[in-house]
Amino acid sequence: MKQNHFKLLIAAFVASTVMVGCTKDLDLTPTNDITADQVYSTSAGYKQSLAKIYGAMALTGNAGGAGSPDIPPQIISDEGNSDFLRMWWYLQCLSTDEAGWTYHNNTDPIGIHQMTWSSINQTVAGLYYRCFFQITLANDFIRQASDENLARRGISGASADSIRMYKAEARFLRAFQYANLMDLFANPPFVTEADAIGVGLPQQIKRADLFTYIENELKALETELMAPRTNEYGRADRAAAWALLARIYLNAQVYTGTAKFTEAITYCNKVITAGYTLHPNYRELMLADNHLNTDEFIFTIRYDGTRTQNWGGTTTLTHGPAGVPGSVSGTNGHWGCIRVTEHFVYLFDPSDIRGQFWTTGQNLIMTQLLDVQTDGYSSTKFRNLTRTGGQAPNRDPAGNWVDIDFPLFRLAEIYLIYAESVLRGGTGGSNATALSYLDQLSARGRTPAGSNAQLTLPYIISERGRELFWECFRRTDLVRFGQFTTSAYLWAWKGGIQGGTAVDSKYNIFPIPSTDLSANPNLRQNPGY
Amino acid sequence: MSCKKLLKASVLLTFLLLSLLSYSQDKVITGKVTDSKDGSGIAGVTVTPKGGTGGAQTGSDGSYRISVGPSVTILVFSSVGFVSQEINIDGKSSIDVSLAVNNTSLGEVVVIGYGTTRKKDLTGAIATVTSKDFQKGSITTPEQLIAGKVAGVSIISNGGQPGSGSTIRIRGGSSLNASNDPLIVIDGVPLDNGGISGGNNPLSFINPNDIESFTILKDASAAAIYGTRASNGVIIITTKKGKSDKLRVNFSSVNSVASVTNTVDVLNGDQVRSIVNSLGTSAQKAQLGTENTDWQDQIYQTALASDNNISLTGGIKGLPYRVSIGYLNQEGVLKTDHLEKVSLALVINKIFLDNHLKVDLNLKGAQQKYRFANQGAIGSAVNFDPTKPVYSGKARYGGYFEWLDPNPGNTFGHPWNRAGRNPVAMLEERHDNSDAQRSIGNLQLDYKLHFFPDLRANLNLGYDVSKGTGTIFISDSASLAYADSGVNDHYKQTKSNTILEFYLNYTKDIKSINSRLDVVAGYSYNNYLTTNYNYPSYNARGGKKPNTDPDFPYNKPENTLISYFGRLNYTYNDKYMLTATVRRDGSSRFAPQNRWGTFPSVALAWKINDEDFLKNSRTVSSLKLRLGYGVTGQQDGIGNYDYLSYYALSNASASYTFGNVYYQMFRPGGFYADRKWEETATTNIALDYGFLDNRITGSIDFYLKKTTDLLNSIPQPAGTNFAAYVLANVGSMENKGVEFSINTQPVRNKEVTWDVAFNATYNKNTITQLTIVPDDPNYIGFPSTNISGSQGFAFINAVGGSKNTFYLYHQIYDKNGKPIEGLFEDVNRDGIINENDKYKGKRANPNMFYGFSTSINYKKWSAGLVMRASFNNYIYNNIYSNNGRLNQVLNAYVLGNASVNYLETEFKGNTEQQLLSDYYLQNASFLKMDNLNVGYDFGQVFKNKASLRVNLSVQNVFVITEYTGLDPEISNGVDNNFYPRPRIIALGLNLDF
């Protein structure tokens, strides 16, 4: 009996020891998803993370088409509307004379063209969160690419050098998105790599302070990024940083109250002397093989019909225009969404080949904004065909997704910044050079009629409209020229009426989304909202 | 894994050692316990000396042997489903007892978590339903056996598909965003709630014919022993056991005919022709056909089902067993839906070592072969142009009529991508076949220590494995995937869940202080491992579709739960009871700092009828007051690895290009390291009553459940997280309610017995907090449940309201009461109708529901019925809103069909906002007769070698409701292309020999 007791006690002891030891079984890890230390163990991993920061501008998520969104449906209900370019285009172009939108389902950009947006507008919130998604990725990448982390992970030599270059590009992309937030939302919250993930409430930054931050970042990056035109196509280089500096200097008076046209000219000159030239044929700018336009393009968002698939971006700009047959756009057909107001059409004279309007079956006058596809001309600027009219190189067999890259910076804009800055009193340039740049653009645009350029502000705002049609500049330009909310320039359905009307000046900037006001008590709403 | 093996080995070693032990006793009583009905031995009857220590159980033939101390004068015989008896020993050494089957629905011994308890000792809110009270008829999935039978438990079938599951809610469910499904434990094996690919409803793998009883643990004091999985209640299913050494065979066969009782009211061909001719364009008029096709008639069929079961119970060389085989062959009322299921169950329960070691082996397995009908055809049949024929008279596209692309180009004459597909072709041309298997089993060893018989050690080793494979095939000539050259896709999933549990149970009657003590302490290890296989997509010609190669061949999500638990039952003077439980759970789903949680409960009960002032009452036969409080958790619906910040690789088709090289991208996931389980504190106050010799019994329970740390998806401050929303523990919610049940036997005599049971439930759900900052004015709540045809949502879940509160616009009507399209009340008077003008209205979930069952036995006849009623549940009629408009007929590209609601509203359908109108909200309160059955017992047949019973039943007999849609019972409150629940007429026969 006693012995049996003893055996039992031993057995019980063994059993209980094993049980306690088993709590280690609670440490489980996913099969295919991996942790930061695994991702960043090699320079290849760093590059795939860098690809996400870039790809966050092109794609809507981690699945081709849709299915794994970066921005959750609570913010924007349709993933296809949640990529950077589509939403940026909505706020920059659809809000102006450049475009109206046919539909008004919850998935569509409601009230943008009529200028009735509020802090609960999905498109407004969507772009805000898209910019911050990219900033958050960049912040994380910058932390992961710190010298301490590289040393800790045993990465050195050439690998470490290329990762430092990636880090500089991440900083550039962050500066680019902060510049967009500064332009659109004026006073966003502010986070850098110094702020840890998942904790803390960011402080709001004033528009002028954000300007200084972006300016300093870009100047610091001037020496860190690759020399112009030496990086892989699709990655940012020094010229991209210069071009962004030129762009924010052009608008500095709007952002800070202080004009910086001299600085704008300085950075235009840096870009121009880097060896870019205008691509000879304007109509080849937005085609399926436009990755070949490295003569003019400084930095692009890249799309690919089979490998970078999503429903936004240039896919929207190709399918969206109403009435354009699939055979013309190089797709499986149009979506009936986008038309152009007659006021924008009036900017072009008939000889201007940049007025790529689709008029068949379309009425010039936008008598009705909603629910009709035929009021207002449409556009064929974006076509998923090659220069020779052939099929897109990485064609999606179903005809949905396109190959057309989108230039965020191209030489034509730099010429226009130069001319306007000279005209507005910046130093370091000359009227003659300014006019010659305008002549080059006008001559290309009016092939074969030839240039009719003038060095005047009214000419420049119109010329920017013609040259940069649907390239996400129009709202910023109209704000700078005092025409966006005022009665100085009216277009169809501005302010919600057919003839157009002035609206409250609060609409010069967008409201902070109510979602973020709810999440972050440090934030104050922009005036008027 | 090796850890688990070690565990098993060590516990088995313990048993080996224990089996070597010897013992001695002083006074022995033997005898046999038999069933009063037929005299057969009853296995597993507990024999305990009243006021003494120890106890025994009867063997397979009903015989027992017990050693008792000299002070013991009475033996107590008790078993689940039988009326207990107390027999005076009177110096006898042999006592035979005959036990009568318990005729009240609640047996004397109740299965609870980790053991059993005497019903009279219960302190928690526990309901038991045994096989004799199950719903009758053609029932192919277990939970439907108890629909309407238990107060506080709502069981709503998910539709009429063969083997489809049910939405089970106990006391309203305690979660908003995570799971509201109860934990289900089958013979001691807790199941994970997920199904298996190709297997439809996970519970349908259990053969309803094998089930002996359901025990539902409703309040925290009963369920807290299951810790982090108990907040939504626990359903314990016990299967039938081996009974005696005499071979008994039961054969049952249920053959049934099912048909839809009603279809959605849509326009006929003539009505469509008249609308198109008066309102359509010339192009639309040209599209008109000449038929009057009722597409819903074309897709539904009268479905036959045959459910055959044979079970053998007996003993081979004293080894009691039960073996059963079931074969179900069932068609769905939707054409091409078909299920073939084979199920097997083996139970062996053996008692060794003079009643000291009890071994139970349960093995269950089932194979389901499905052809899943394409349920898209249900909506398509409502919407397809009724002027068109089913068949085109041509050979192409399977001979089915299809809309063909009229535009010049490469797709000219092909099935048009702007039009819907022929509903019949959708069914016949899509072959979605699956083969799913599941096996659940466990070995339970229960050892009463020889030298210390008050102490019992129980080891339970269990598994739950399943495998599902399937293919979806569409021929390249079919219209459904013509542009893709057809489909030939394959899928596969396996699950392997293991469980090890060990507990010690000490039971002691301490006579000196009039007390009884029952203590349990244990350990539990559960591991849930799933493997999902990934395959590329193929077309029907075998060609791989581009960019469909998966990045990873498989994914193996896994989680582990390790727990320690204890329970103390203390009874004083047989009148006052205390139950205290505690469970400590560690879950792999949470970060180390949040991994462990402790879930306590305490309950008190007072048997008032045993007090002197009621002891001799002839009216009151039992009266018990129960008070309970406890805390439970809920961790279902929380991702396995959510606390880790991990990086996911993008698909090949979501790559980014640098130079000429494509890079698949790494995306970090949202980060919320502090996520933990939801926690529910439940208070329960109840009175159990019995009057007139317990011919009237029942209980009334009041409960209050407060859930805190409710998981809500909340926005993260922009710039601070990789995901803009993360699931965080921020909210709180409460459910309060009353449950009432009464069971009576108004007539009980030699020829007639009549039983009536009624239960009623009232539940009120209120969301009390959803944000970090309480009552944040910027947060209106979160919407849920999409309305088909719009991007809008039906519900708002907001503080102060209940979950699934409708959030729609106020419709404005003209003076004739006809709704005006697109006109809504501008609630905030700002001149525009937008999101801010919606109002919080009715709720989808009922606040009151009732169940009523009655059965009557007259001589050899029996009859019974089950009815259910539900009040104040509302449904959004998405068929009316999405199909009741002109542009469904005059579609932009092809003609379609509309709901008859169009004739009332004459809505054009150009504004999506119209779908968010409260015009479509309807009261769906209902009274339903679920089941009506008549049976006849032929008694002994075939020269007294067998007994035969036959039963004729009708399911889904009638529904009384104001709701105008197909069925007022839609668990998510939005009625949209619901698979109709058929009326089933079933003839069952039951043969025992």
- Give residue B646's pLDDT band: very low, low, confident or very high (50, 70, 90): confident
Amino acid at B488: N
* CB-based contact B650 A306, cutoff 8 Å: no
Amino acid at A498: Q
Query: What pLDDT was estimated at residue A104?
Result: 72
Is the per-residue pLDDT at B348 higher than 50?
A: yes
The mean per-residue pLDDT over the stretch B644-653 comes to 88
Residues of chain A numbered 11-70 and touching chain B (CB < 8 Å): 11-12, 14-15, 18-19, 21-36, 38-39, 45, 47-49, 51-52, 54-55, 58-59, 61-65, 68, 70
Distance CA B632, CA B232 (A): 9
Q: Sign of the CA dihedral B714, B718, B721, B723? A: positive
3-state secondary structure of B533: strand
Which residues of chain B lie closer than 8 angstroms to A18, CB-CB? Answer: 3, 6-7, 10
Which residues of chain A lie closer than 8 angstroms to B656, CB-CB? Answer: 51-52, 54-55, 58-59, 234, 302, 308
Is the per-residue pLDDT at B10 higher than 70?
A: no
Q: How far is A258 from chain B (nearest CA, A)?
A: 28
CB B313 within 8 A of CB B345: no
- The per-residue pLDDT of chain B, averaged, comes to 88
Q: Is A230 on the interface with B (CB under 8 A)?
A: no
Ranked by mean pLDDT, the top range of A212-221, B641-650, B878-887 is A212-221
pLDDT in tens, A319-333: 999 999 989 999 988
Tell me the pairing of strands B85-88 and B97-99.
Answer: unpaired
Tokens 């002691």 sit on residue? B508
Query: What pLDDT was estimated at residue B702?
Result: 96
pLDDT in tens, A441-499: 999 999 889 999 999 999 999 999 999 999 999 999 999 999 999 999 999 999 999 99
Q: Which of B410, B445, B663, B830 to mutate to test the interface with A (most CBs of A within 10 A)?
A: B663
Q: Alpha helices of B171-219 — where are they, by DSSP H?
A: none
* CB-based contact B560 A15, cutoff 8 Å: no
**Could you tell me the CA-to-CA distances from B378 to A310, A515, B158 in Å, in that order?**
30, 38, 15
Q: Is A198 on the interface with B (CB under 8 A)?
A: yes
Model pTM?
0.81
Q: Is A284 on the interface with B (CB under 8 A)?
A: no
Q: Is A136 on the interface with B (CB under 8 A)?
A: yes
pLDDT in tens, B235-279: 999 998 877 667 889 999 999 999 999 999 999 999 999 999 999
- A25, two tokens: 């079984």
The mean per-residue pLDDT over the stretch B820-830 comes to 88
CB A73 within 8 A of CB A515: no
pLDDT in tens, A397-422: 888 999 999 999 999 999 999 999 99
* CB-based contact B547 A120, cutoff 8 Å: no
Nearest to B912 among A29, A30, A105 (CB): A105
The mean per-residue pLDDT over the stretch A200-218 comes to 96
- B22, two tokens: 């010897």
Q: Which of A4, A237, A517 to mutate to test the interface with B (most CBs of B within 10 A)?
A: A4
Nearest to B586 among A12, A21, A23 (CB): A23
* CB-based contact B654 A28, cutoff 8 Å: no
The mean per-residue pLDDT over the stretch B750-779 comes to 87
CB B218 within 8 A of CB B170: yes
User: Concatenated DSSP letters for A236-288?
Assistant: --HHHHHHHHHHHHHTHHHHHSS--HHHHHHHHHHHHTTT----S-GGGTTBT
- Number of alpha carbons in the 13 Å side-chain half-sphere of residue B92: 13
Q: Which of B666, B712, B771 to mutate to test the interface with A (most CBs of A within 10 A)?
A: B666
* CB-based contact B668 A137, cutoff 8 Å: yes
* CB-based contact B658 A232, cutoff 8 Å: yes
CB pairs under 8 A between A and B: 291
Query: What pLDDT was estimated at residue B53?
Result: 61
Nearest to B719 among A11, A107, A132 (CB): A132
Is the per-residue pLDDT at B107 higher than 50?
A: no
Q: How far is B67 from chain A (nearest CA, A)?
A: 19
Query: What pLDDT was estimated at residue A105?
Result: 66
The mean per-residue pLDDT over the stretch A177-184 comes to 98
The mean per-residue pLDDT over the stretch B778-794 comes to 81
3-state secondary structure of B75: strand
Q: How far is A368 from chain B (nearest CA, A)?
A: 15
**Could you tell me the CA-to-CA distances from B891 to B280, B896, B897, B908 in Å, in that order?**
10, 6, 9, 11
Among chain A residues, CA nearest to B789 = A105
Q: How far is CA A165 from the centre of its chain?
A: 22
Among chain A residues, CA nearest to B418 = A333
Is ipTM beyond 0.90? yes
* CB-based contact A18 B724, cutoff 8 Å: no
3-state secondary structure of B382: helix
Is the per-residue pLDDT at A500 higher than 60?
A: yes
Lowest mean pLDDT among B606-615, B868-877, B927-936: B606-615
Q: How far is A77 from chain B (nearest CA, A)?
A: 8
CB A140 within 8 A of CB B668: yes
Encode A323-334 in three state secondary structure: CCCHHHHCCCCC
Q: For residue A327, with 0-12 CB atoms within 10 Å meaning exposed, 13-18 middle and 19 or more buried, which class applies?
A: exposed
pLDDT in tens, B451-488: 888 899 999 999 999 999 999 999 999 999 998 899 99
pLDDT in tens, B108-149: 788 888 888 888 888 888 989 988 888 887 888 888 899 888
3-state secondary structure of B441: strand
